[in-house]
Chain A
Amino acid sequence: MLGRTAQNLFWLSRYVERAENMARLLEVGYRMSLTSHREGGESEHLISMMQAAEVDEAFEATGKVATVDTVAQFMVFDETNPSSVKACLFAARTNARSVRTAITSDMWESLNSAWLEFSQIKPRDVRGAKLLGLLQWIKQRSHEFRGALLGTILRDEGFAFSQAGNFVERADNTARILDMKYFVLLPRADLVGGDLDIQQWTLILRAASAHRSYRHFYRDRYQPEKIADFLILRHQMPRSLAHCSRMLGQTLDSLAELYGRRVDCHDAVAELCAMVEGTNMEKIFRRGLHEFLTEFIARNNRVTECLSESYNFY
């Protein structure tokens, strides 16, 4: 397979996953802002959400005041924001066009029709109640694409590269969601149990579609340590760091098997996995949750770099 094709497949999956995650983050930011009753609370929540998405500076550069409307326009439709849903879908489709021969027609049609439908949406029509519907739609289209991929693509190197993109991006995103409100997850006696905190934890779980699966898993009320545990260390949780890094490891192993050699990215992913294997939340909290997440994101990026070098992305 051409190195460029592998690269396109990797980024194609990353961008679809990112579009979905932007929708998830925006939903959380939106819900948080709705429940804030303090002066300036709305924009504070939205800005911390944009920090997590690493688009806060780009937003600031637009000179706009952060309101639900301005932030939604920026995160969904603004082409100058490289992480906006529109930019992600466009980049995903452009990558897909470049590798039409390496993806199935079901994958292409799913992505192409998502793009065509999205292009029909007028930004000014998406206000208030309409926003949540749109965000839901974006998530669904991402699910549909993933379904088309899993159901139709050949299980060869192309599959491995697109899976790698998917899990790298998702791990990155979950780490960022956690980091956005890491302080509310810190076990601090004085904060535990406040209504506002519970609400924020719920939203963090919701951003990962985990607010109900948490209940099934722990049979318990929401507790910060457990929420962090769920999203970081539990393999059963498909958006957890443990699950994403393990899947990434397995994916890269399949490439090693296929190509008959192990390369730098295999060491890099082993280091990533080691961060979430054989540890517990107590150790992570002791070390500092924010520091832990920062290192995880950096190691995750390192995997992408090694992958690009090892498999001749250019």
Chain B
Amino acid sequence: MDENVPFDEMYASDGSVREPYRVLKQWIEEQPERALTLMQSDAEGLFRKLGITFAVYGSDEGNEKLIPFDVIPRIISAAEWRRLSKGIEQRVRALNAFLYDIYHRQEIIKAGRVPEKLIVNNAAFCPQMMGLNPAKNVYAHIIGVDIVRVGPDEFYVLEDNLRTPSGVSYMLEDREAMMQLAPDLFQRSRVAPVETYPENLRRTLQSVAPDGSGSNPNIAVLTPGIYNSAYFEHSFLADQMGAHLCEGPDLFVEGGKVYMRTTTGPERVDVIYRRIDDEYIDPLTFNPDSLLGVPGLFNAYRAGNVTLVNAPGTGIADDKAVYTYVPAIIEFYLGEKAILNNVPTYNCTDEDQRAWVLENIGDLVVKEVHGSGGYGMLVGPTSTKAQQAEFKKKIEARPDNYIVQPTLALSTCPTYVQSGIAPRHVDLRPYVLVGDEVRITPGGLTRVALKKGSLVVNSSQGGGTKDTWVLED
């Protein structure tokens, strides 16, 4: 296989169509001229009408934007999915066990498998969580695992998102749009449903309600409000689950219990799916300047009177520096080899590795340890000399603040662009729910870098999304 041509999801290296895409290929060929162009513009109208928008911070074009939707789905075979979901389940079990351990006896540190310094000096470590027992010992209930593919059987986990992963509403709305746009295509394929997600989310949240909250606990989605970039998703999920959509001022704590202000007075809240970062959830425990949170919330949580989803402090397990240790974490808690690989990662605090990194920076990807959303990163092969020089300086100044990985040839998937259908790089974010059991929705969010050759798929950097199909046997 040519080293320079990335793996394509639809076409094998000999140009033949890969089996999962056979029906799609045929369908595309049957479409009359301009049909896809029309579909593409219909899709945009549909999304705008539904108000599926996000905000880009610092953008002048008003604060609501659409994430571009591509009409060509990304398809995963049943066998591929089985392996992926096994690997994902293994990972989230291990990470939850890790979180329990880190906030209790820290056996993994004592065993010397993870350096103490990496944990206790880490900004994502939350000392307030020490010794606290969350319901069912689950810390990360809602997880998005970022996966990339570089070959037929080669998948890598790029990142675990254990804080408040977003994008699941796009998974659902992309499917809805696709079914409206190409119903005949669904008739001819056996696509596993993703519409079960809201029901499973509700089940998951119910299953971790505090003891004594009854068979139908009161669930609230806590949002920073309509100006947050992911507000659409917050309202969408609350709506789909039949949960209350609350902002900080709608809730208050009294006697260690959380209540919401209703038209008929206070009403007890049992589970809070919070879409506010740790730092802002409770000004009495965390950032005192926060106006978004609920004063006293953390104490109510500590007292076991409310469940926070996800738990505060889960960031210690998806920190980019801790990421390197995930295979060791899996082995330590489960006694198993990791099913899904990590991307090899260079440690810049090691002198030899750093020297090598600085020498080869033009071929590498550099990420800030606490960065996200595609900000604060360098993609070597598409960067300028000046950018490379800037990052070299940054790494030398604070080697512990960066991780460095080889530039992966992310797989491509045919995508509808101005010039017609062309391959564009994609990644994959499946969504996992952890409560009384682990539930993985067959599918996920496929993000696509719409710019030719670009490897950055983030929506804030010009990425789009695709409906993601998992085929059933």
Q: Is the CB of B260 closer than 8 A to any CB of chain A?
A: yes
> Which positions 77-125 of chain A face chain B at CB distance < 8 Å?
94, 97-101, 105, 108-109, 112-113, 116
Whose C-beta in chain A lies nearest to the C-beta of B237?
A: A101
CA distance A259 to B265 in the complex (A): 11
Q: Give the residues in chain B near A182, CB-CB below 8 Å.
A: none
Contacts of A112 in B (CB 8 A): 49-51
In the complex where A97-B51, A98-B226, A105-B50 touch, is A3 in contact with B236 (Cβ < 8 A)?
Answer: no
Known: A94-B226, A100-B239, A101-B239. A109 touches B261 (CB 8 A): no
Q: Could you tell me the distance in whole angstroms from the C-beta of B397 to the nearest C-beta in chain A?
A: 43
Given contacts A97-B235, A116-B48, contact A314 B263 (CB under 8 A): no
Contacting pair A157 B231 (CB below 8 A): no
Q: Are A2 and B235 in contact (CB under 8 A)?
A: no
Is residue B245 contacting chain A, with contact meaning CB distance below 8 A?
Answer: yes
Interface size class of B (residues with CB under 8 A): 20 to 34
Tell whether A1 is near chain B: CB-to-CB under 8 Å: yes
Distance of B168 from chain A, by nearest CB (Å):
16
Q: Say whether A213 faces chain B, with CB atoms less than 8 Å apart.
A: no
**Residue contact A3 to B51, C-beta cutoff 8 Å:** no
Measured CB to CB, the nearest residue on chain B to A310 is: B263
Chain A min CB distance to B240 (Å): 9
* Complex alpha-carbon distance, A249 and B215, angstroms: 37
Decide: B250 and A4 in contact? CB cutoff 8 A. yes
Given A101-B235, A101-B239, A101-B245, residue A312 in contact with residue B261 (CB < 8 A): yes
- B51 near A2 (CB under 8 angstroms)? no
Q: Cβ of A4 and Cβ of B226 under 8 Å apart?
A: no
Which residue of chain B is the closest to A313 with respect to CB atoms?
A: B263
A2, A6, A312, most chain B CB atoms within 10 A: A2
Q: Is the CB of B262 within 8 A of A100?
A: no
Residues of A within 8 A of B247 (CB): 4
Q: Which residues of B contact A292 (CB under 8 A)?
A: none
With CB as the reference atom, state the residue of chain A lying closest to B266: A312
Q: Is B264 an interface residue (CB 8 A)?
A: yes
Residues of B within 8 A of A113 (CB): 49
Contacts of A161 on B, CB cut-off 8 Å?
263
CA distance A105 to B239 in the complex (A): 10
Residues 7-36 (chain A) with a chain B CB within 8 angstroms: none
8 Å CB contact of A97 from B231, B244, B246: B231
A108 partner, pick from B51, B243, B245, B260, beta carbons under 8 A: B51
CA distance A292 to B232 in the complex (A): 46
Q: How far is the CA of A257 from the CA of B265 in the complex (A)?
A: 16
Say yes or no: A259 contacts B263, CB within 8 Å. Answer: yes
Report how far A109 CA is from B49 CA in the complex, Å.
6
Contacts of A137 in B (CB 8 A): none
Bound state CA distance, A249 and B272, in angstroms? 37
Contact of B50 with A100 in the complex, beta carbons under 8 Å: no
Interface string of B33-74 (1 = CB under 8 A from A): 000000000000000111100000000000000000000000
CA distance A2 to B245 in the complex (A): 9
Query: Is B381's beta carbon under 8 Å from chain A?
Result: no
Judge whether B262 and A1 touch: CB under 8 Å: yes
A3 close to B235 (CB less than 8 A): no
Does B238 interact with chain A (Cβ within 8 Å)?
A: yes
Our pick among B226, B231, B236, B246 for the contact of A2 (Cβ within 8 Å) is: B246
- Within the complex, the shortest CB–CB distance from A12 to chain B, in Å, comes to 13
**For the complex, is B249 an interface residue (Cβ under 8 Å from A)?**
yes
4 further interface pairs, Cβ-Cβ under 8 Å (given A1-B262, A105-B50, A312-B261): A4-B249, A157-B263, A259-B263, A311-B263
Q: List 10 A-B contacts (CB under 8 A).
A: A3-B263, A4-B261, A97-B231, A99-B245, A108-B51, A109-B51, A113-B49, A311-B264, A312-B261, A312-B262
B residues engaging A (CB < 8 A)? 48-51, 225-226, 231, 235-236, 238-239, 243-247, 249-250, 260-265
4 shortest interchain CB distances as A-B pairs: A100-B235, A311-B263, A101-B239, A101-B245
